[in-house]
């Protein structure tokens, strides 16, 4: 292993929150900042919602509506902000482990292999993911192919121009689910059935009205204790209160959980069930010099919220640096 | 070195690799096989491995599109010492024998293996009264290194277990291993030694069963000649035995559901935690896995042979499982469950390890009822079967001096040896530094290496079992499409033709098109 490279600030994750923090910290005159991104591009989840003529624009301020945009456009705007700064961008770089006390990250990349980076302060903007079938606790049945998470659907639909199913069934009724239904319909699939274990959809009324421009999914909820996925090789439906709803593909949407495992591995305090990191004033984590931003904090926030949250976290980081 | 065997897939899609396609029986050579093994589960693969050390023409075939894809893929992954087996049975004998050979076998075949030990704990008076019987039974089974522990001693070894513990037994050699690598390693060495492997091929008929040379009819209408047939088809063994009028037996698949917990739970428990089996129930285990997770299970639910639900999971049973497992380790309630799975035990109503030589006709062996202990016993069972082949079926055994019995250092799974930690290797092959599966930290290079490995896995599930990509806490949320793209690019298969487990399980519906 090579010797440790030192930076003033390291930011883990180049999604909206990480970029927000990077841009704000750079504007405050901090010289050596590196942003570490495991995929091959910056922009995070919005970049998966591609721009398409006549395509579905979604909300970047999920929780509060706002003007619908193409995620890709917003990701490009974020990238532009980032490129204006002198922040060092490390793509295809995975953080393998952290040493919270010494503020060291062990990274691996094709360029450098395994290396150590250290910093005076570290911002974790690791984002979130959708809960697995098992984590949701009310989904059983078989394990066929064509049961996707939203991110997988986006990679196929927008990334590869492949429509994976004709009769979609969507599990999870928040904005992500309704957006998925609209995108599938726009790509040529039929109206989706949306299933959730609550009486009404999670997605707000006005957002649902907006997505009616493309699709009118049927909602199935109310007192569902558990549902069973059916299909031997490929998904063929779900069994719900003894009734089979047929489909040829399933999308598991929403129910975000923070990607807080790196923090956990470094013995930074994380609430185990929700996996939200324990945050003090100024978004500080339980180890001094560590901060969290964006959807890693938990909850269900749009890209724009995350970007501004990243900027707020940057203020906390500057406070911390001025005190030490 | 002997001439390596051939590998074929019964995969007719035009985009599938021509050199791996099974088109004609002539690809398998013109002479009849000495031995054909039907079923490439852990037992079939172990048998192919052991037979490949002799000068024989052997064919291993399976209806699935990978080895170890059915019963062998879903189990507790424990290498049993056999301490609690029924005394004096063949099962007990083979498990005990195999268990002693496992450390060396794992080293030779590069199978991740850890002697973690097990702790059997009694948490109520009824269980406590059974504890001495279990101890006596272990001694009778030749597992003499077991130790009786007081509550204090048990808590000292495993501080996180329930404070209700009354007494315990330590079984030091009870171990864990990678069940996926096991079938794969056996099959890879067999292939290297000249065994031919045919995947995706079901046998639907046996002709000339009375003759010395018998003919197997495949689902796609091809005919394969062989002198000896070994039926190790697991759940399919009953249907197969009917094709050659084998002795009657019944299979009642027994489902075992498991919960998989995330990796940070693993540091809490070091040993396999076992309840004391009582008259009513065998109980739920908490098991560390070689992959660094904890699992809890299994349930025991009986099914009929043709019920597809045997591989399903159910919400109610999994909740009951969590409650049961928490009696041993109360902290489990706090731990996030990342996934669940169902394993199916091949349970034979006429007794476990149902083995019939010259079954129905001379030259046919039926092996069924190999339950969860089959993973442990497979190498010993293979040796036992070979001695039966020699003694009862007259198979001539001559050692093959060119055969190898191990895999090379580079065969260790990437998740076990972490190729990216070797900076020289990353310099030479930068793809080992590009992580694709973020949760399990699996690199692009490891996926390519597996695609090019001797068994040429071509399905997402086959890759998952080899590399662990998609096996982590996000269950493929981040990497599934990326992995599919890598397979697509490397093997020249269009992305919409990539499958989870062979033809018919394409990730993209065949009726939809690019839009």
Q: What is the pLDDT of residue B267?
A: 87
Q: Please state the φ and ψ torsions of residue B374, each to the nearest 5 degrees.
A: -60, -30
B-chain CB neighbours of A135 within 8 Å are: 336-338
Environment class of B76 (CB within 10 Å of its CB; exposed 0-12, middle 13-18, buried 19+): buried
The alpha-carbon gap from B181 to the nearest alpha carbon of chain A, in Å, equals: 22
Q: Do β-strands B175-177 and B78-79 pair in parallel, antiparallel, or remain unpaired? A: antiparallel
| Other residues' Cβ atoms within 10 Å of the Cβ of residue B129 | 12
Q: Which residues of B does the annotation mark as catalytic?
A: 80
Q: What is the pLDDT of residue B3?
A: 77
Q: Do A189 and B421 make contact, defined as CB atoms within 8 angstroms? A: no
**Are A291 and A316 within 8 A, CB to CB?**
yes
**Are A95 and B442 within 8 A, CB to CB?**
no
In this predicted model, what pLDDT tens digit does every residue of A267-293 receive, in sequence order?
999 998 889 999 999 999 999 999 999
Region label for A44, one of left (φ > 0), alpha (ψ between -120 and 50) or beta (otherwise): left
Alpha helices (H) along B53-178 = 90-109, 125-140, 151-157
The alpha-carbon gap from A81 to the nearest alpha carbon of chain B, in Å, equals: 25
A-chain CB neighbours of B423 within 8 Å are: 1-2, 113-114
Q: Could you name the CATH architecture of B7-72+179-250+350-392?
A: 3-Layer(bba) Sandwich (3.50)
To which H or E segment does residue B389 belong?
helix B374-392
Low-confidence ranges of chain B (pLDDT < 70): 1-2, 278-281, 511-515
Distance CA B99, CA B82 (A): 8
Nearest to B116 by CA among B3, B266, B309, B305: B266
B-chain CB neighbours of A139 within 8 Å are: 315
Q: What is the pLDDT of residue A55?
A: 86
Q: Could you name the CATH architecture of A132-252?
A: 3-Layer(bba) Sandwich (3.50)
CATH number for the region B413-497 comes to: 1.10.10
Best A152, A224, A226 residue to mutate vs chain B (most B CBs within 10 Å): A152
**B59 beta partners:** B36, B196
pLDDT at A1 over 60: no
- Asked casually if ipTM beats, i.e. exceeds, 0.90, the reply is yes
B-chain CB neighbours of A130 within 8 Å are: 477
**Per-residue DSSP letters for B250-311?**
-B--EEEEEEEE-GGGGGG--SEEEEPP-SS----EEEE-TTS-EEEE---EE--TT-GGGG
DSSP annotation of A234: B
In this predicted model, what pLDDT tens digit does every residue of A43-71 receive, in sequence order?
999 999 999 887 899 888 755 557 899 99
The closest CB to that of A233, out of B264, B314, B505, belongs to: B505
Best A261, A269, A270 residue to mutate vs chain B (most B CBs within 10 Å): A261
**Size of the A and B interface in Cβ pairs below 8 Å:** 170
CATH 3.30.70.260 is the classification of domain A5-129+256-323: no
Positive or negative torsion for Cα B349, B350, B354, B358:
negative
Residues 6+ apart with CB under 8 A from B273: B118, B119, B121, B158, B161, B285, B286, B287, B328, B329
Average pLDDT over residues A176-182: 96
Buried b or exposed e, range A119-136, using 16+ CB within 10 angstroms: bbbbbbbbbbbbbbbbbb
**Are A168 and A250 within 8 A, CB to CB?**
yes
CA distances for B139 relative to B83, B153, B156, B197, B352, angstroms: 8, 21, 24, 42, 22
DSSP, collapsed to helix, strand or coil, labels residue A76 as helix
Distance CA B119, CA B150 (A): 12
In this predicted model, what pLDDT tens digit does every residue of A213-250 receive, in sequence order?
999 999 998 666 788 898 889 999 999 888 899 999 99
Which residue does chain A place closest to B498, by CA atoms?
A: A145
Q: What is the pLDDT of residue A243?
A: 87
The closest CB to that of B509, out of A139, A187, A248, belongs to: A248
Q: Do β-strands B214-218 and B203-207 pair in parallel, antiparallel, or remain unpaired? A: antiparallel
Residues 6+ apart with CB under 8 A from B152: none
Distance CA B366, CA B240 (A): 9
Q: Do β-strands A256-258 and A168-171 pair in parallel, antiparallel, or remain unpaired? A: unpaired
Q: What is the pLDDT of residue B509?
A: 87
In this predicted model, what pLDDT tens digit does every residue of A8-21 receive, in sequence order?
999 999 999 999 99
**Are B359 and B224 within 8 A, CB to CB?**
no
Environment class of B67 (CB within 10 Å of its CB; exposed 0-12, middle 13-18, buried 19+): buried
DSSP, collapsed to helix, strand or coil, labels residue A288 as coil
Q: Do B264 and A162 make contact, defined as CB atoms within 8 angstroms? A: no
**Are B77 and B375 within 8 A, CB to CB?**
yes
Cite the residue boundaries of each domain of chain B with CATH code 3.50.50.60: 7-72+179-250+350-392
Is there a shared CATH topology between the A5-129+256-323 domain and the A132-252 domain? yes
The closest CB to that of A160, out of B340, B439, B495, belongs to: B495
| Domain-wise residue ranges, chain A | 5-129+256-323, 132-252
pLDDT at A210 over 90: yes
In this predicted model, what pLDDT tens digit does every residue of A97-154 receive, in sequence order?
999 999 999 999 999 999 999 999 999 999 999 999 999 988 999 999 999 999 999 9
B-chain CB neighbours of A273 within 8 Å are: 334, 336
**What is the number of H-type helices and E-type strands within chain A?**
9, 20
Cite the residue boundaries of each domain of chain B with CATH code 3.30.9.10: 118-172+252-345
Q: Do A145 and B500 make contact, defined as CB atoms within 8 angstroms? A: yes
Distance CA B274, CA B272 (A): 6
The closest CB to that of A156, out of B312, B335, B508, belongs to: B508
Nearest to A233 by CA among B503, B85, B434, B82: B503
The closest CB to that of A135, out of B263, B336, B512, belongs to: B336
B-chain CB neighbours of A133 within 8 Å are: 339-340, 475
Q: Do B505 and A160 make contact, defined as CB atoms within 8 angstroms? A: no
Nearest to B234 by CA among B343, B128, B135: B343
DSSP annotation of B87: T
Q: Please state the φ and ψ torsions of residue A217, each to the nearest 5 degrees.
A: -70, 150
The alpha-carbon gap from B251 to the nearest alpha carbon of chain A, in Å, equals: 21
Distance CA B471, CA B57 (A): 37
**Are B45 and B382 within 8 A, CB to CB?**
no
Q: What is the pLDDT of residue B264?
A: 85
Domain range B118-172+252-345, its CATH number among 3.40.50.300, 3.40.1160.10, 2.40.30.20, 3.30.9.10: 3.30.9.10
Which residue does chain A place closest to B337, by CA atoms?
A: A135
């Amino acid at each position: 292993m090579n010797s440790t490279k030192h930076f003033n600030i390291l930011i883990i994750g180049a999604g909206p929150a990480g970029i927000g923090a990077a841009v704000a910290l750079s504007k405050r005159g901090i010289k050596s900042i590196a942003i570490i991104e495991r995929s091959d591009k910056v922009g995070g989840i919005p970049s998966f919602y591609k721009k398409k003529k006549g395509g579905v624009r979604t909300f970047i301020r999920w929780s509060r509506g706002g003007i619908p945009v193409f995620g890709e456009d917003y990701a490009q705007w974020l990238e532009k902000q980032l490129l204006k700064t002198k922040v060092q961008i490390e793509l295809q770089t995975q953080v393998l482990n952290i040493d919270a006390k010494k503020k060291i990250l062990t990274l691996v990349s094709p360029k450098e292999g395994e290396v150590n980076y250290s910093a005076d302060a570290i911002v974790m903007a690791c984002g979130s993911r959708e809960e697995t079938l098992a984590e949701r606790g009310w989904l059983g049945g078989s394990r066929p192919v064509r049961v996707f998470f939203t991110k997988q659907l986006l990679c196929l639909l927008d990334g590869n121009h492949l429509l994976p199913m004709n009769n979609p069934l969507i599990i999870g009724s928040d904005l992500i689910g309704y957006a998925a239904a609209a995108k599938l319909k726009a790509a040529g699939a039929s109206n989706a059935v949306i299933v959730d274990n609550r009486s009404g959809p999670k997605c707000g009324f006005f957002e649902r009205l907006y997505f009616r421009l493309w699709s009118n999914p049927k909602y199935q909820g109310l007192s569902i204790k558990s549902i069973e996925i059916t299909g031997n090789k490929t998904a063929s439906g779900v069994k719900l209160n003894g009734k089979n709803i047929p489909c040829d593909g399933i999308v598991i949407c929403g129910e975000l959980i923070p990607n807080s495992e790196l923090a956990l591995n470094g013995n930074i305090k994380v609430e185990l069930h929700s996996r939200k990191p324990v945050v003090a004033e100024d978004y500080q984590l339980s180890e001094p010099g560590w901060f969290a931003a964006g959807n890693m904090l938990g909850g269900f926030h749009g890209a724009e919220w995350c970007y501004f949250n990243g900027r707020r976290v940057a203020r906390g980081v500057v406070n911390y640096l001025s005190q030490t | 070195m002997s001439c390596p065997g051939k590998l074929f897939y019964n995969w007719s899609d035009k985009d599938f690799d021509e050199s791996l396609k099974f088109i004609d029986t002539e690809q398998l050579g013109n002479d009849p096989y000495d031995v054909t093994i039907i079923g490439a589960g852990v037992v079939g693969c172990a048998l192919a491995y052991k037979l490949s050390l002799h000068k024989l023409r052997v064919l291993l075939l399976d209806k699935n599109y990978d080895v170890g894809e059915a019963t062998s893929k879903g189990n507790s992954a424990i290498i049993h010492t056999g301490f609690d087996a029924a005394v004096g049975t063949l099962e007990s004998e083979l498990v005990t024998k195999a268990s002693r050979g496992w450390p060396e076998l794992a080293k030779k075949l590069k199978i991740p293996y850890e002697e973690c030990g097990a702790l059997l704990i009694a948490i109520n008076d009824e269980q406590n009264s059974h504890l001495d019987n279990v101890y006596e039974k272990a001694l009778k089974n030749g597992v003499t290194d077991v130790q009786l522990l007081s509550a204090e001693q048990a808590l000292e070894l495993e501080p996180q277990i329930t404070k209700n513990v009354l007494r315990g037994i330590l079984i030091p050699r009870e171990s864990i291993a990678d069940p996926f690598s096991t079938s794969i390693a056996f099959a890879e060495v067999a292939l290297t030694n000249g065994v031919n492997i045919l995947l995706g091929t079901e046998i639907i008929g046996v002709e000339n069963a009375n003759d010395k040379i018998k003919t197997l009819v495949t689902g796609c209408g091809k005919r394969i000649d062989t002198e000896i047939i070994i039926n190790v088809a697991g759940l399919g063994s009953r249907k197969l035995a009917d094709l050659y009028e084998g002795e009657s037996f019944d299979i009642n698949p027994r489902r075992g559901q498991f919960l998989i917990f995330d990796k940070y739970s693993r540091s809490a428990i070091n040993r396999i935690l076992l309840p004391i089996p009582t008259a009513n129930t065998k109980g739920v285990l908490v098991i560390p896995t070689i992959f660094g997770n904890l699992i809890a299970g299994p349930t025991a639910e009986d099914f009929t042979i043709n019920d597809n639900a045997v591989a399903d999971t159910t919400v109610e049973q999994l909740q009951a499982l969590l409650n049961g497992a928490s009696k041993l380790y109360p902290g489990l309630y706090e731990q996030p469950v990342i996934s669940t799975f169902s394993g199916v035990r091949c349970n034979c109503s006429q007794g476990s390890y149902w083995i019939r030589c010259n079954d129905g006709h001379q030259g046919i062996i039926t092996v069924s009822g190999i339950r969860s202990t089959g993973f442990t016993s497979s190498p010993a069972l293979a040796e036992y079967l070979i001695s039966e082949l020699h003694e009862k079926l007259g198979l001539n055994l001559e050692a093959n001096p060119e055969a190898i019995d191990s895999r090379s250092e580079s065969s260790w799974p990437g998740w076990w040896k972490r190729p990216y930690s070797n900076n020289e290797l990353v310099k030479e092959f930068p793809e080992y530094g590009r992580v694709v599966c973020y949760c399990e930290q699996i690199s692009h290079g490891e996926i390519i290496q597996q695609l090019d490995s001797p068994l040429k896995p071509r399905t997402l599930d086959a890759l998952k079992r080899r590399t662990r990509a998609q096996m982590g806490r996000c269950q493929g949320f981040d990497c599934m499409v990326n992995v599919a793209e890598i397979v697509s690019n490397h093997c020249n298969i269009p992305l919409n033709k990539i499958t989870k487990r062979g033809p018919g399980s394409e990730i993209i519906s065949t009726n939809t098109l690019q839009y």
